[in-house]
Structure 1
Amino acid sequence: MLGLQVVKIFTGGGIIHISTINDSQVWDTFVEQSPYGTIFHKWDFLHTVEKHTGYTLYPLGMYITEELMCVIPLFFRNSHGVKMVFSPPPQTGIPYLGFVISARFDSMKQSKREQRMCEMGELFAEEINRLGSNYVSILLTPSFNDIRPFKWNGFLIDPLYTFVIDLQKPLDKILNEFNVSKRKIIKKNENTFDMQLTEGGDISLLYDLSVQRYNEQGIKFPVTSKEYIEELQRLYPDHIKVYYIKDKDEKTLGAVMTAEHRRVTLWIGSVKPDIKAPVNEFMYWEFIKKSKAENYELLELGGADTPRLCAFKSQFNPNIETNYRIFKKDLVGKMAEWTYLNVCKKSKF
């Protein structure tokens, strides 16, 4: 079984080992104390993913002697003899997951930090090899950017990108850095269009609008079910929220679900109004003002990996953040991936 203890001794570094963590308090305390933890790493969040996807969760911890130095949630499935390991698994909508390292890493000298990272990279590779995985895919958070130890241990690397707005700047500076057409639209919007951003409880409309939007593009909505995000919202009402953009007649023009934990991420949603009102411009500007007022430092817009979205979102002058996907696949894994991408994922359409 994945997660049984593996021990390795490193000269001068004590005993480093990996084992399953079964204590939710230990897990969540570590995630919250690490600057690298996200809402997606929280214990109940991960078990909700397990419940609704059919993957088996293995919450692993890497220790040096008795000190917990890193956690990583892995999701495992053996499908028709193909052993797959994901973090996060497909159909969860989660943009990144992977490793959460101890805050103590930030105070280490580079030589010591590299030593620890190399030890963990080697240990993780051994665990993956011991499992006999045919396909492994780990999406790392933007804050986790030293992927050399995984490259050195045989993982392939795929850089991914997201757009973020720096909210530490003054509001007028943020606005002035927008494309001139976007500035004019936002200023005009304040006097011409009567729209409101309201927080809502029911996600049914958001889910239906999102499914419809993806169907129009001939692709499957990348979230397993409405019940999945409803449960997440119930578990984390302060961090997982739904907002609707409405006109003066209370007609819904758009909807978005956010993840609000250390940053505000425009996570799941659909904005495609039937009218010509600048709904997206209104939404971005309202979230910039709201998130800044609530002392968040970053607003994540996403979309930097999709060419048709880049042209629009880049007009708000966002910064680009890089996060990495590390992956491995043998011949069986390659065949399974091809089947998923070319048959299963498109079969509905």
Structure 2
Amino acid sequence: MDEIEVRELVPSEYKEWDLLVETAKPGTLFHTSDWLGICRDVLSRDLKIYGCFRNGELVGGCPLFIKNLKGMLKIGSSTCDMTDYCGPLIKEGASTKASKRMQETHEILDALIEFLCKQGFDSIHLTLAPGFEDVRPFTWKGWDSSVRYTHHLNLKENIDGNTSRKIRRELKSADEAGLKTRISNDPETYYRLLSLVYEKQKLELPLPREFFERVFKLIQEKEIGYMFVSETPEGEAVAAHLNLYGKKCTVTWTSALNPDFGRMGPNALLYYNEFLDLKSRNFEYMNVMAANIPRFTDFIMGFSPELVPYYTVTLRSKKYSLMRTLYKMTHEETE
């Protein structure tokens, strides 16, 4: 087998990277140079996309956001705020033999891991996209792994037969309140609703306003998603979902709800009508990123979703582990 070369991609190669994202099985919108560029620009992150080449062909790679913590620690992560997963991509092999495809995948990952370990990182944390299941090349080399979860709503099923009594009550409340749903492209509506959510909890928004504005612009220019809103009979938007298109699916990236209207069932109505709409458009499932927070899980379980695991892998230097331990000890003493 020919040797794998790993190096940083230059911006002129990002189109080639995006083609890999389209064809690789776990490739997602979060892997695209457009999305990564928004994170880099708005959050002022140092972004590098490392590519794996065989005979000049891009066959894999991994994006990393890099920061130097107080000039002492070099840290790399494949994700940032509100980018749930990213991580390595591997071009799917042409062989019909599972053993051959596994061998090719492991060779690419082995080369990538060796390269990353030579870059002087004190900590590397990769969150792999759902569908990237084989983390053994990492764990065999001493990386730690952990599991996270997302929910898939199967659009081939009958939603009316899968909703809980609680969800049916919420749908009835929404109907009695005269709530309706529609697609909207107004970023101001979404930002207002999101601000209400965080104001209620006395918290700051997780991302700058510009981030959402850039995402809405990307949605409109590339047609990579849409916003669905619940409205009162007077036309006031009281809940919204920002959905991104994936391969045969949508990703419920983020949602917002006016707390004053929570008891009217606008969120349940959104999911229900989204399900019917996407089913009519031949999507296969909805990827609802709400499986790692208990209160969100309790709600979405009312739609009988499938629980889907995805994985993280982490490598830390002795220096990083020591400083992390000292930091925890210091903060425990001051509490």
TM-score range, shorter chain: 0.7 to 0.9
Q: SS in structure 1 opposite 2:260? A: coil
Q: SS in structure 2 opposite 1:14? A: coil
User: Contact 1:197/1:245 (CA < 8 Å) preserved in 2?
Assistant: yes
Work out whether 1:160 is the aligned partner of 2:148. Answer: yes
Deviation at 1:328, TM superposition (A): 1.7
Q: Once superposed, what is the RMSD of the aligned Cα atoms?
A: 2.4
Q: SS in structure 1 opposite 2:307? A: strand
Q: Which residue of 2 aligns with 1:229?
A: 212
Q: Which residue of 1 aligns with 2:6?
A: 18
Structure 1 residues 337, 33: CA separation in 2 closer, same or farther (over 3 Å shift)? farther
Aligned partner of 2:209: which letter? Answer: K
Work out whether 1:200 is the aligned partner of 2:184. Answer: yes
Q: SS in structure 2 opposite 1:25? A: helix
* Matching residue within 88, 95, 105 for 2:79: 88
Q: SS in structure 1 opposite 2:93? A: helix
Deviation at 1:18, TM superposition (A): 0.8
Q: Which residue of 1 aligns with 2:230?
A: 245
Q: Distance in 1 between matches of 2:326 and 2:264?
A: 41
User: Contact 1:189/1:282 (CA < 8 Å) preserved in 2?
Assistant: no
Q: Which residue of 2 aligns with 1:119?
A: 107
User: Contact 1:204/1:226 (CA < 8 Å) preserved in 2?
Assistant: no
Return the TM-score normalized by structure 2.
0.87
Of stretches 49-58 and 157-166 in structure 1, the one that deviates more from structure 2 is: 49-58
Work out whether 1:133 is the aligned partner of 2:121. Answer: yes
Deviation at 1:245, TM superposition (A): 1.4
Q: SS in structure 1 opposite 2:264? A: coil
Q: Which residue of 1 aligns with 2:90?
A: 101
Q: SS in structure 2 opposite 1:321? A: strand
Work out whether 1:268 is the aligned partner of 2:254. Answer: yes
Q: Which residue of 2 aligns with 1:209?
A: 193
Work out whether 1:178 is the aligned partner of 2:163. Answer: yes
Q: Distance in 2 between matches of 1:339 and 1:157?
A: 22
User: Contact 2:152/2:288 (CA < 8 Å) preserved in 1?
Assistant: yes
User: Contact 2:196/2:259 (CA < 8 Å) preserved in 1?
Assistant: no
User: Contact 1:82/1:336 (CA < 8 Å) preserved in 2?
Assistant: no
Deviation at 1:191, TM superposition (A): 4.9
Q: Which residue of 2 aligns with 1:346?
A: none
Q: Structure 1: which 5+ runs fail to align?
A: 1-12, 344-349
Q: 1:154-194: CA deviations, max 9, x gaps?
A: 2111100011101123xxx22202213423543x3575231
Q: Distance in 2 between matches of 1:53 and 1:273?
A: 28
Q: Distance in 2 between matches of 1:232 and 1:338?
A: 39
Number of matched residues? 322
Q: Distance in 2 between matches of 1:211 and 1:205?
A: 10
Q: Which residue of 2 aligns with 1:255?
A: 240
Q: Distance in 1 between matches of 2:204 and 2:23?
A: 36
Deviation at 1:33, TM superposition (A): 2.2
Identity of aligned residues (%): 23
Q: Structure 2: which 5+ runs fail to align?
A: none
Q: Which residue of 1 aligns with 2:282?
A: 295
Deviation at 1:217, TM superposition (A): 3.6
